[in-house]
Structure 1
């Protein structure tokens, strides 16, 4: 489980509708590959699954949380 302290930086993603949304990682379960993002615009949390990331971006996401931010990934 990745808590928001690990993913505190804001990220931008493109939804299935083509709209770009910006928000912060609320939490992400690495072992299951899914979690939630809280949009910066105040709308409800968005479910995210690892399939939205390319393999390369998914690895960068995990490395960012582990190495760059010097935080622990909590795996439940």
Structure 2
């Protein structure tokens, strides 16, 4: 596990929802972890839902962007 990820996970487990945003960035970009936009979206949502998070607005923008991106890749039935 990449060292930044280890520290961000520790912070997130301690209740720092901004750390979830940072982990989401890592998953979205594939930095130190396997790229996973679904995981990134879930992590961004945790931060966006916290009114006290410093990164709340950035996280909500990321949620909106990824929801649009992931919806466009869904198969049409």
Same fold per superposition (TM over 0.5): no
**Structure with the bigger percentage of helix:** 2
User: Which of the pair has the greater relative contact order for Cα pairs under 8 Å at 6+ separation?
Assistant: 1
TM-score by length of 1: 0.31
TM-score by length of 2: 0.31
